[in-house]
A and B are shown apart, each in its own frame.
Chain A
Amino acid sequence: MKCPKCQRPVDHEAESCYSCGYSEVEAAAICGGNVVLLNRIHDAAHCLRKQERDDLALTLDQLELKFPQMLFCVYLGTLPPHLSISELGFWLLNHGQVKGAEYARPNENAILVLMDMNTKQIGISLGYFAESLITEEDAYRALMMARPNLVNSEYGEGLERVFLRLGKTLDRKGRQLRKLTREQFHAGLSGNNGPVLDLPHPFAPPLTGERATMEESLKSA
């Protein structure tokens, strides 16, 4: 994990960046402490044509169907020089409210793709839950997939590629997790010391004590 401002590593559960002291408080100070309402495809830079927008919306629809918990959204803007897209992503995920996603898809399940048309930067900001599913490497690969399109100013198609690639990543992760939970379930059944899971559903939330192992296995995966 890195600091959205200085990009130096940050401990998990750190209250603020050890290097630069950045935290949500500073973000709120810069961008505001209020809640903002976002469109799922928020094109503040007006760089998507109608057709591109429709196609992208279709792709997001499909992804939402496939991943009912996840929130997929886009912010395209021209950012002021002192604001990086990583900071904006951090702030938007904590202060933004995507229309239509209110309860079913909380922001911690969000995958927000941001683009700054000024600096020609693209990035992916992740909520806590999404972060546990998508590694930095996965996210970077997804961006790289879209680079040729973006270089050619085919923003709509580029964004679609990013999301589709992330969809594949989620799909893979989902299958891994399903297997993992099943194994854990069986391990729990066979081991006499562990508590027997009485939830037959493979997606049953792991017990609190097992959360750490879950996270460990996710990271190693």
Chain B
Amino acid sequence: MRSLAAIFVLVTMLPLPLRAAKVELPTWEEAAESESYYLGGGLWPKALIPDEAAAARDPGAANDVASADPAPGVAPDGTILPTAPGAITPDPEAPGAPRFYGPQGPADGTAAPPGTRPAVIENPDGTFILPQEIVEEEAYEPLPPIEGELSDLYFAHAPVDFLIDPQRLLTEQKSNDIKRFLEFHSDESDFRIFVMALGETQKIPDDIDIEALHKKWFSDSPTVLMLYYREQPQLTQLVFNESVHGSLPKSVFDRILQNTLREGGVTELAPDQVEKMAIELSIQLYWLSKLMEYENKEEQARAAKSGIHEMIASPDAPELLREYAPGIFIEDTSKILSLVFTLVIVVGGLALMGLIGWGILAWRGRENVSGQPLLFPEFQISPRLGGEFSGGGFVGMSFELSEGT
């Protein structure tokens, strides 16, 4: 993928006249012609070789460059030898010399003093060592502290959306996915989930009591508020209703948080982290709601020790989670049974249809003439009634409607 991107960059960097002259897609050369390759391995099309490009641009000067002596630092087999930076990259000031990786210099090709771009080094196994600066970490713009207007956006009013992200910290597409998931979840679960996305460096203002806010906003129905800090899933906090929190041992909530954090930790990008954590939280909340159904404290405690995947599932397991936690559906015997029953009916129906079809074909086949020619053994039969070919063998029938036969 990366090499494809590199090719794309390279092509776009080729001087316009050259590109206009070569509209058709580059064709990969045969390995036999690899002597003209500078990068080795037969990986690059000829037109993309720096000196070839120069040759194409200036055919008169090309011959001595392109075909004669190999470039310095290139082994006879075409492999690039690790050399000092700048040794194998063509002189950027040479006319038409395209640049390989890295940020593009000024379009006129004048800037970029020699030695500023480190060399691309090809390993013997054909992989490339890219200069460090190319794989640049995407750094976020520093975020302002949450205060004033921004604080109001977060905390002034009870949220309408299940995803509270006034700073657009998550990508739009993923945000929509997450919102939809949370909506579906709220339809099927006893607990609603609200996700509040904060910047990695941001803090909830001191004057905001998030638990009090939770009580203010969500006291009417069980709700979990998930505070997520961008790309810092380990900082995630879950806020439950006080009543819920008080009815079960702390270990239960620790476990929910633990599992949720673990899911967030398996991926790097903020939107993915939020999505994974929301799904896991949804699963955990199903487990939580099951736990709360136990009236006996002992049973509850025992059940609390079992994991989500060991617990007995029930017919009301949220469909939403079927994809993510199939385990909670497995023991749902009534559904399984009805599924099996449906399957039997369907298969039986198909078999019956097939049988009928086969029967019809067979019945029609009775009146079909097919197969290899059939020869009868011949034998003489003595004639009768003086007939040379027939003795009058005959079977007749009337087809008058009034007659029986």
Give A residues with C-beta under 8 Å from B: 1-4, 10-17, 22-25, 59, 62-63, 65-69, 85-87, 89-90, 93-94, 106-108, 110, 119-133, 136, 139-140, 143-144, 146-147, 150-151, 158, 161, 164-165, 167-168, 170-171, 173-174, 177, 181, 202-206, 211, 214-215
Contacts and interface: CB of A to CB of B under 8 A. Distances in A.
B400 to A, nearest CB: 4
A176 to B, nearest CB: 10
Interface stretch (B230-238, B268-276, B293-301, B367-375): B367-375
Contacts of B369: 59, 62-63, 65-66, 164, 167
Interface in B327-380: 366-371, 373-380
A215 B397 contact: no
Nearest to B374: A174
Given A120-B398, A168-B366, A24 B373 contact: no
A204 B377 CA distance: 6
A15 B392 CA distance: 12
Given A85-B396, A86-B396, A132-B379, 9 more contacts: A3-B385, A15-B386, A86-B392, A86-B394, A89-B394, A90-B391, A121-B398, A158-B399, A205-B377
Nearest to B381: A128
Nearest to B382: A13
A56 to B, nearest CB: 13
A131 B391 contact: yes
A144 B384 contact: no
Contact of A168 (B367, B386, B395): B367
B392 A3 contact: yes
A94 B384 CA distance: 12
A73 B389 CA distance: 15
B362 to A, nearest CB: 12
Contact of B384 (A10, A164, A202): A10
Nearest to A202: B377
Interface residues of B, number: 35
A173 B376 CA distance: 9
Given A67-B374, A164-B368, A167-B369, A107 B389 contact: yes
Contacts of B103: none
Contacts of A132: 379, 381
A52 to B, nearest CB: 16
A125 B374 contact: no
B405 to A, nearest CB: 9
B394 A125 contact: yes
A85 B398 CA distance: 11
Say whether chain A's binding surface is mostly helix, strand, loop, or mixed.
helix
Contact of A205 (B370, B379, B397, B400): B379
Contacts of A123: 394-397
A165 to B, nearest CB: 7
A24 B384 CA distance: 9
B393 interface: yes
18 contacts: A2-B392, A2-B394, A4-B394, A10-B392, A12-B391, A15-B386, A90-B390, A107-B388, A107-B389, A125-B392, A127-B390, A127-B393, A130-B393, A158-B399, A164-B368, A168-B367, A202-B377, A203-B375
A214 B379 CA distance: 9
B387 A93 contact: yes
Contacts of B381: 108, 128-129, 131-132, 215
B367 A165 contact: yes
A33 to B, nearest CB: 12
A120 B391 contact: no
B94 interface: no
Contacts of A1: 384, 391-393
B393 A125 contact: yes
Nearest to B370: A66
Contacts of B383: 13, 128
B363 to A, nearest CB: 12
B401 interface: yes
A130 B386 CA distance: 17
A12 B380 CA distance: 13
Contacts of B388: 24, 94, 107-108
A87 B374 CA distance: 30
Contacts of A173: 376
B125 to A, nearest CB: 68
B361 to A, nearest CB: 15
> Considering the complex of A and B, which 7 residue pairs feature the smallest CB-CB distances, nearest first?
A24-B386, A123-B396, A107-B389, A93-B390, A4-B392, A150-B399, A139-B395
Contacts of B378: 69, 129, 205
A150 B368 CA distance: 20
Given A67-B373, A129-B378, A164 B367 contact: yes
Given A67-B373, A171-B374, A144 B397 contact: yes
B399 to A, nearest CB: 4
A171 to B, nearest CB: 6
Nearest to A115: B399
A146 to B, nearest CB: 8
Q: Which of A68, A86, A128, A181 has the most CB of B within 10 A?
A: A128
Contacts of B392: 1-4, 10, 86-87, 89-90, 125
B403 to A, nearest CB: 8
